[in-house]
Amino acid sequence: MNRGIHDITVPGGPIEITDGSGSLTTELEEKTLLFATGTAAVSGDNTIIASPGVNQEIVIVAIQIQNESVSETLAIIKFGSTAKWRFLAKEKGSGFTIPIQNGYAWHVGANTAVVLNLNGTNQFGYNIIYYTKVV
């Protein structure tokens, strides 16, 4: 498995919210976005983001998975051992891209890895943008 991890910081700061009757100023939490990119080709479970450690959770904000082989392959995204998203990649280039909408994210669970399960030894590429948070 080949993979690279990179990061970028999303600045936080004060934000003012008002409903017309007054305003509330609050401080946004700064988050460092992490990028996991690579390939997986083992039949069965491929850990694509390792569990972050005790009292930490992976929060996915965008994900792309793509079949890089010519063979039809069933792929399952799992949070630990729990299946969360299944898809049949029928040919080379098949896959999915999900930019999670602003305000929404996939919360993986405390100290839980992200796994790509393949039903054959066919190569898949992946790109995932995520951050970790204390739970």
55-98 per-position pLDDT tens digit: 999 999 999 999 999 999 999 999 999 999 999 999 999 998 88
CATH code for the domain in which residue 121 is found: 2.60.120.1330
Mean pLDDT on 22-47? 85
Reported as a pLDDT band with limits 50, 70 and 90, residue 19 is low
In the chain, the number of structural domains is: 1
Residue in 82, 89, 80, 84 with CA at minimum distance from that of residue 119:
89
The burial class, CB within 10 Å (0-12 / 13-18 / 19+), for 45 is: middle
Can you give the pLDDT at residue 8?
Answer: 46
Can you give the pLDDT at residue 50?
Answer: 98
Can you give the pLDDT at residue 106?
Answer: 92
Q: What range defines the domain where residue 98 resides?
A: 2-134
